[in-house]
């Protein structure tokens, strides 16, 4: 590993950032994150970064302090003359308003893309964006990873012949098809046709495809309150699914998510550590996998100007 690399870890991704550094074979960059008495965030880089390839690992899930900390980190690195700054954002928050679908609403994903570039990022490394078009909101290069290789390593040891991949809504069909192809060339998919009735509220209208007697594997990017994935689980159960599992990349697990999962027919939820989940939000049904090795491999490849497309080949 070229010594001209520094990886800093933000408050929102402490455990994951340390695992990434361990996988790379380096120590996290030395920095201090404190707050003034009124809650204002203060960042100080405690080592020389002049001429270095600098990376800051920080997810931007709520509250907004996580995003502000990322911006301040990059500004500090820029003013300290880092040669290149990469924002490593395992979970890119504020991405669900990615278009103007009704009057007088912001496009928050575009706003925060602008802020990240203005703060000093030369490129972004992120995982499982809520919508692929968000990459186009940035005027800097974006390396977009998928968690599918991590899920594949976990599920490949099982008998997948009875599995059917379930897309919880029409918008996820392309990724569900890619996931099914990665797990097994002949795995079928089922689509849940739902209607969004408001923020965090939806209703299942129809189940498209045959799920009777199959093991349903629900596949989604975000599990927030759990409403969408639990409604999908109940729908496939009513249509004859023998067993129901779920895998999600970003475990927000907010509101009633834990209770809904506990009370649902889902037997197991497999998620990643792009977002740290407090123990009181975790159901006993949840299994957390790490994406540290995947992100570490991407960072090394970026640092050495090598292609990272091999990390998500044949996923889409």
Positions marked catalytic: 194
d(CA 24, CA 181): 30
Burial class (CB in 10 A: 0-12, 13-18, 19+), 199: exposed
Contact 56, 299 (CB under 8 A): no
Count of helices and strands (H, E) across the chain: 8, 14
Burial class (CB in 10 A: 0-12, 13-18, 19+), 81: exposed
Q: What are the start-end ranges of the E strands in 120-275?
A: 123-127, 142-145, 163-167, 189-198, 201-208, 215-223, 243-251, 268-272
- The phi-psi region of residue 94 (left if phi > 0; otherwise alpha if psi is between -120 and 50; otherwise beta) is left
Within 10 angstroms of residue 192's Cβ, the number of other Cβ atoms is 26
CA distances from 58 to 15, 271, 281, 296 (A): 11, 18, 21, 14
H-run or E-run covering 8: strand 5-9
β partners of residue 98: none
H-run or E-run covering 298: helix 292-303
d(CA 101, CA 107): 9
d(CA 162, CA 213): 8
């Amino acid at each position: 590993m070229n010594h001209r690399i520094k990886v800093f870890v933000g408050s929102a991704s402490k455990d994951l950032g340390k695992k990434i550094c361990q996988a790379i074979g380096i120590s996290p960059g030395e920095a201090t994150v404190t707050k003034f008495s009124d809650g204002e965030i203060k960042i100080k880089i405690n080592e020389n970064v002049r001429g270095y390839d600098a990376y800051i690992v920080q997810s931007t899930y709520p509250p907004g302090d996580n995003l502000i900390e990322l911006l301040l980190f990059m500004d500090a690195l820029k003013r300290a003359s880092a040669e290149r700054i990469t924002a490593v954002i395992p979970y890119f928050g504020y991405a669900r308003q990615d278009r103007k679908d009704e009057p007088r609403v912001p496009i928050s994903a575009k706003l925060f893309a602008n802020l990240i570039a203005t703060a000093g990022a030369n490129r972004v490394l992120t995982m499982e964006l809520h919508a692929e078009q968000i990459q186009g909101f940035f005027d800097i290069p974006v390396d977009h990873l998928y968690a599918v290789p991590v899920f594949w390593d976990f599920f490949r040891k099982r008998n997948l012949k009875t599995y059917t991949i379930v897309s919880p809504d029409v918008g996820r069909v392309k990724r569900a098809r890619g996931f099914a192809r990665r797990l097994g060339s002949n795995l079928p998919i089922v689509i849940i046709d739902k209607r969004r009735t408001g923020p965090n509220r939806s209703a299942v209208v129809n189940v498209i495809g045959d799920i009777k007697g199959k093991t349903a594997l629900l596949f989604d990017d975000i599990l927030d309150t759990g409403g969408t994935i639990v409604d999908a689980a109940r729908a496939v159960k009513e249509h004859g699914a023998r067993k129901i599992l779920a895998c999600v990349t970003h475990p927000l697990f907010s509101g009633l998510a834990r209770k809904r999962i506990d009370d649902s027919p889902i037997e197991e939820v497999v998620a990643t550590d792009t977002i740290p989940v407090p123990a009181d939000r975790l159901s006993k049904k949840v299994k957390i996998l790490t994406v540290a090795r995947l992100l570490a491999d991407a960072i090394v490849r970026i640092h050495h100007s090598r292609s990272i497309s091999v990390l998500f080949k044949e996923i889409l």
